[in-house]
Chain A
Amino acid sequence: MNVTTADDTTSTGQAGPLTGTTDRGTWREFFVEHAIKAAGISMIAIVGLIFFFLLREGLPTLGEVPLGALLGTRWYPIEELYGLIPLVIGSLLVTAGSVLIAVPLGLTTAIYLSEIAPQWQRDILKPLIEVLAGIPSIVLGFLGWVALAPLIQSLGAPTGLTAFTGSLVLAYMALPTIISISEDALYAVPKEYRDGALAIGATQWQAIRMVVLRAASPGLVTAVMLGIGRAIGETMAVMMVTGNAANMPAFGPAILFEPVRTMTATIAAEMGEVSQGSVHYHTLFLIGILLFIITFAINSLAGRLIGGQEQRRKRGQI
């Protein structure tokens, strides 16, 4: 159903000039049109400027620190050790953990809400999910620090401040995004598809699994992507619960139960101490560029999937 939005706007746009044919009306039309255009262009310009600023402050690192050092495994800027690998691994570990937790929970919640739950339950659950989305991340981080960390320590980890603690907090932060977008995608599947499946003898679960989920899959992937984007960029909550040790976790079953330091937490913790223009300062901006590239890639992948879905739907393939 997100197919028709483009057509809708063009048809309502044509209705505009008919209501105001006087000179004042045309002038107003001209003004509004250009104001909207200016707003749109300024948005592009702002994004461009941010990217330009990031590049200007971050790229000098590549001339100041040899690439081999940037690919090192030790991050300790006060001794000029600028290895970014533990920070990237830290961010990826925490994000991957949160996806592993949030995606199954989020998708099943969305399926329940859209396909199974009676109306009265939807009326209770949907606002509650919106409330979850509204909880400030620092509050979730604080809860994680006070309640989750001791719990994980009691499971036998040397400390409760681990990548897994961060994953849990982030999972709850990404859940509202994943639930509401995938619920929308499921809701958008026409009722006829379900009726058709049930009419030829499918059980409800078969209809969900083979028809509804398949028809909604691009929207579901988008939901997951945006959830990941939300998780990888989170800072404060992660900083409170992951221990911030720039550690190379040993590969193995306990990999998530080691402390890590994420890229975002590194920028947040160290930005205040650097003097502007120093190597450390430039390196922090380089981390910013890396983060920007990662989230940009995730967002454009999500955008491409939505686009693909629209095109296929126009050709009647879904």
Chain B
Amino acid sequence: MNGRRTPGMRLHLLNGLAILVLALTGCQPVSSGSESGADSDRAIQNKGSDTLVNLALAWAESYREVRPEVSIAVTGGGTGTGIAALINGTVDIANASREMSEEEIAEARANGITPVEFIVAIDALAVIVNPDNPVERLTIEQLSDIFTGRITNWREVGGNDAPVVVVSRESNSGTHVYFLETVVRRGSKENEDIFAPRTLLMPSSVGITSEVQRNPNAIGYDGLGYVTPHEKLIAVAQDAGSPYVLPSVESGEDGSYPLARYLYMYTAGEPDETIMAYLDWIRGPEGQAIVADLGFVPYAGN
């Protein structure tokens, strides 16, 4: 009995198990576009913004009926992830919920890739709170004070005497960067405010909505297409003198909602015929009908 179970053996077993677990969970495949060499049956690699991912999936699915020989692989991960993949040359199209920064374009150029920008839809960015929260409306300035941590109690904006729990997407999210520039910094380039250190950073849109659903003191933001009836929309005003507007397809379309933004697709270099046809279809009436179906705002500027 003694000879069969030595602690040493058990140690090795556990080490082996630990390594196996690491191997299974720790490493995810880094390159996703490695097989995209064949030309006959085209596989378009499409990656990036989580705001856009459902829309991109819906487009890819419908496009199979238009051009069955083109398969489109859509993955999310965040705008930063998609743009990094574009710079590293592993995707054909990167989805982005913000414009590429000058640094990112320079990095892509350094790798021999010239990104080309296409606007594919408009998104109204909704600020959401728990339905039990009595607060109905906020100005951009109040939102900035809340997300930077200058306001820490709901009482200061007309709510209950309760601590504010700020919920945001991770910094690889284009929505995070858009919110930082437009709300936290109120659109000013000189403003260097950043999110409060206590801001909960969620890896996904679902992380934000679920925390807001179960936490009566939470406030977060998400694309309008992702908001469910279990969260309450906040009416937002540019400043105290402006009208408070609820996010909707209409208010996003007519420009009255202050937090409406473009959603982009970037191609790695001038698109070839297959990709161009896909982008034209997306920006055409069929693609834009899907945009409206999913709660986003169609873009008519094409």
Contact = CB atoms under 8 A, between A and B. Distances in A.
A276 B88 contact: yes
A72 to B, nearest CB: 11
B80 interface: yes
B214 interface: yes
A198 interface: no
Contact of A188 (B7, B21, B107, B214): B7
B7 A273 contact: no
Contacts, number: 126
B202 interface: yes
A236 B25 contact: yes
Contact of A184 (B5, B18, B203): B5
Q: Which 3 A-B pairs have the closest CB atoms?
A: A273-B80, A273-B172, A272-B81
Nearest to A274: B84
A246 B78 CA distance: 19
Interface of B: 2-3, 5-8, 10-11, 14, 17-18, 21-22, 25-26, 77-78, 80-81, 84, 87-88, 104, 107, 163, 165, 170-172, 177, 180, 192, 194-195, 197-203, 211, 214-215, 217-218
Nearest to B8: A2
A126 to B, nearest CB: 11
27 contacts: A1-B2, A1-B7, A2-B8, A8-B3, A76-B194, A76-B195, A78-B171, A78-B180, A86-B197, A133-B17, A153-B215, A158-B163, A159-B211, A159-B215, A159-B218, A180-B10, A181-B10, A181-B11, A184-B6, A188-B6, A235-B26, A246-B201, A248-B197, A272-B81, A275-B87, A275-B104, A306-B8
A69 interface: no
Contacts of A8: 3
A159 B14 CA distance: 35
A273 B84 contact: yes
Most buried by A among B18, B22, B198: B198
Interface of A: 1-2, 4-5, 8, 74, 76-79, 81, 86, 133, 136-138, 149-150, 153, 158-161, 177, 180-181, 184-185, 187-188, 219, 222, 226, 230, 233, 235-236, 239, 243-248, 258-259, 261, 269-270, 272-276, 278, 306
Contacts of B25: 136-138, 235-236
Given A181-B11, A269-B201, A187 B5 contact: yes
Contacts of A270: 170-172
A133 B15 CA distance: 12
Contact of B201 (A184, A230, A261, A276): A261
Contacts of A236: 25
Contacts of A177: 14
